Structure 1
Amino acid sequence: MKYAVLLRGINVGGKNKVVMSELRDLVRQLGYEQVETYINSGNLFFETEASYQQIHDKISQLFVQHYPFIRSFSLFNKADYEADFADLPAWWDENLARKDVLFYTDQVDKADVQRRILALPLRDEVVHFGQLGVYWGKHEEKEYLKTAYHKHLLKEPFYKLVTIRNGKTFVKLGDYLAD
């Protein structure tokens, strides 16, 4: 089965450096196959027959040993991605100014994230709560600075417990999982 691991806050502004070729080598040493990465922001893919819990435990231990600044991550398989993709609302296919996915990590309380987002003053925005994360769309670029996404997201306590990918990267994740 193909899996994806999404890391948060690495290789940003020279902090929390993770060299993708080294990460791929370490993951291969765990016994995983067809190990790939996409761009330099922590998108990792591999194939294994191990269980979700076995993978989670091994990856967690790898981060403790080699990258202690990685305290949480998002782990899902091809079937999980395809189910979320199939359940996306119609607005996801529209030509929006911005689309982002706030992927839940293993440390997040999904119900709390959903409750807190619904309490925000959503302006020119739409949200969809999937199993893998929160799908967030912004209609007009000129209104972006007024959105809850821009004005409130960074202040939310869950912000450091999600890892964000834009809509184009979300599609690319599916391409990697499909191969």
Structure 2
Amino acid sequence: MTSYIGLLRGVNVGGKNKLKMAELRDALTKEGLIHVKTYIQSGNVFFDSEESEEGSRRRMEQIISTEFGLKVPVVIRSATEWQSMIESCPFHEEQIAKAQENAVGESLYVAMLAEPLRADVKEKLVSYASEKEECELIGRDVFLLFHDSIRNSKLATYLTRFNEYATVRNWKTINKIADMLPNDVT
């Protein structure tokens, strides 16, 4: 049995893809996912499953499509991968604090991808980095540090327009999710 986090892309944002988390929990539980719980309305789902990551992703997408009539991409991470992502943050506290000085809102985000970026996509993505927005790629995670704002970011826009299986969460949400993971995850 593996503990997973399912990250739904684009639900309850800007009035589109409305999906009540209580209804989603019920539907996922009814279809056999175990220990299902959610965190905030933006589509963060905790669950346990015997299925692989890919099988869990496909299953969640099918349930959302069948039960709610929505086509919602889902990115999955195991609880162990989630902890590893936090531990591997390439930006140091000083860098984050400096970025936060002038940032509007949060400054540190992670774009989580279903698959690692191809070399040509990485190259294009990195070309958008600047003094105001930085990125570091580690496996299937793209760490984004904004010295101004994520709004109108060329990095974030490129990632999410190019890849339907890219979903972004801010660092506070990422850490809150970590706090909610099962205690036996190392």
Q: Superposition RMSD on alpha carbons, in Å?
A: 2.5
SS of equivalent residue, structure 1 residue 114? helix
Partner Cα separation in structure 2 for residue 174 and residue 113 of structure 1:
29
**Alignment correspondent of 1:130:** 138
Partner Cα separation in structure 1 for residue 172 and residue 144 of structure 2:
13
Partner Cα separation in structure 2 for residue 100 and residue 113 of structure 1:
19
Q: Alignment identity in percent?
A: 27
Contact 1:84 1:131 in 2 (8 A): no
State which of 162, 168, 175 in structure 1 corresponds to 2:166.
162
SS of equivalent residue, structure 2 residue 38? strand
Contact 1:8 1:42 in 2 (8 A): yes
Partner Cα separation in structure 2 for residue 100 and residue 90 of structure 1:
11
Partner Cα separation in structure 1 for residue 69 and residue 123 of structure 2:
30
SS of equivalent residue, structure 2 residue 51? coil
Q: Deviations over 1:145-175 (max 9, x none)?
A: xx8x734246523264421111100111212
Contact 1:8 1:70 in 2 (8 A): no
Give aligned pairs, total: 171
Partner Cα separation in structure 1 for residue 182 and residue 135 of structure 2:
26
Q: TM-score, normalised by structure 1?
A: 0.81
- What is the letter of the counterpart of residue 25 of structure 2? R
**Alignment correspondent of 1:175:** 179
Q: Which runs of 5+ in 2 are unaligned?
A: 101-106
**Alignment correspondent of 1:42:** 43
Contact 1:33 1:46 in 2 (8 A): yes
Counterparts of residues 1-179 of structure 1 (less than 5 Å): 1-91=2-92, 94-95=96-97, 96-97=99-100, 98-104=107-113, 106=114, 110-111=117-118, 112-139=120-147, 141=148, 144=149, 150-153=152-155, 155-156=157-158, 157-158=161-162, 160-179=164-183
SS of equivalent residue, structure 2 residue 10? coil
Contact 1:92 1:137 in 2 (8 A): no
Choose 33-42 or 90-99, whichever is displaced more.
90-99
